[in-house]
Structure 1
Amino acid sequence: MAEFKIVCEYPHPPRKVWRAVTDPALIPYWTSTGKGARAEGFEPVPGTRFRYVAKPVPGWRGIVDCEVTEVREPELLAYTWAGAEGEVPSHVRYRLEPVARGTRFTYHHTGFTGIGGFVMARVLGSVRRRMLTVGLPALLAELDDAGVLHPGAALRLKTTR
């Protein structure tokens, strides 16, 4: 079974990082570095079914079906992830920990099976690393400590559909 884990530290308080990664209005700013998925129907509440909707590409319909499985605000969010209809879901966990200079954020995606799962873990791992090292820091820099975009923020969303 394949998986990947990305650990980043951000010089921002956990509540601000939590807001950036769980507010549906903010999520598209950092997923795929501003051209990523909209979280439709998302709420950080166990049992919530939602989907990420992004621009389709050859071989992928542009939709990921998800269900929130665990929440401990502002330290843990877990959900299932199915990128194709009928696919056995994999599992995503966000863990936020306060550290001396801000927040340690761990993104862990598990449950990829077979050779296709191995390939998908490699592809998604590369994409997620860019989101978490480029996209999320850019968004966090544009938010106040309450997690609200500064007036006149330079970030712009690209159309996903």
Structure 2
Amino acid sequence: MSEIHIVRDYPHSPVKVWRAMTDPELIPYWTSTGKGARAEGFELVAGTRFRFVAKPMPGWRGIVDCEVLEVRERELLHYTWIGAEGETPSHVRYRLEPTAEGTRFTYHHTGFTGIGGFAMAKLLGSVRARMLTVGVPALLAELDEAGALLPGAPLRLARSR
């Protein structure tokens, strides 16, 4: 079974990182480094079914069906991931740990099976690494400590157009 395991340290508080990673209004700013999926129907409540909706591309309908399984505020988010109809769910976990310098964020996606799963883990792994290395830091730089977009932040300006 293949998996994706990425750990990043951010020089920001767990409150700020949690908000960036879980606020449906902010998620598109870091997924696919700013061109990404909208989280439709997402709530931080176990049992919530939601979808990530992005631009379709050849071989992918642009929708990921998910269900929140577990939430521990500013510490853990665990949800299922179904990228294609009829696919067995895989599992995504976000873990946040406070550090002396800010927050350690761990992204762990498990449940990829077979050769197709191996290929998908490789593809998604490189995309996720870029999101967490480029997209998330860019978003965090434009948020205040409570996780709200700063006045005049380029993201706010781009969004209002």
TM-score tier, shorter chain, comes to over 0.9
The total of aligned residue pairs comes to 157
SS state at 1:31 partner: helix
Q: How far, CA to CA, are the matches of 1:31 and 1:115 in structure 2? A: 25
- After superposition, give the CA deviation of every residue in 1:17-74 in whole Å (9 maximum; x if it has no partner): 0000010000000000000000000011100000000000000000000000000001
Q: How far, CA to CA, are the matches of 2:47 and 2:38 in structure 1? A: 19
Matched residue, 1:35: 35
Matched residue, 2:106: 106
Q: How far, CA to CA, are the matches of 1:103 and 1:134 in structure 2? A: 16
Which residue identity does 2:20 align to in structure 1? A
- After superposition, give the CA deviation of every residue in 1:83-134 in whole Å (9 maximum; x if it has no partner): 0011101000000000010000000000000000000000000000000000
Shift of 1:142: 0.1
Matched residue, 2:25: 25
TM-score scaled to structure 2, two decimals? 0.96
Q: How far, CA to CA, are the matches of 1:86 and 1:94 in structure 2? A: 25
SS state at 2:135 partner: helix
Q: Structure 2: where are the runs of 5+ without partners? A: none
Which residue identity does 1:138 align to in structure 2? A
SS state at 2:118 partner: helix
SS state at 1:123 partner: helix
Matches within 5 A, 1:104-143: 104-143=104-143
Matched residue, 1:11: 11
Identical pairs, percent = 80
Q: How far, CA to CA, are the matches of 1:98 and 1:63 in structure 2? A: 32
TM-score scaled to structure 1, two decimals? 0.96
Which residue identity does 2:133 align to in structure 1? T
Q: Structure 1: where are the runs of 5+ without partners? A: none
Q: Say whether 1:67 aligns with 2:72.
A: no
Shift of 1:152: 1.1
Which residue identity does 2:24 align to in structure 1? P
Shift of 1:4: 1.2
Which residue identity does 1:44 align to in structure 2? L
SS state at 2:19 partner: helix
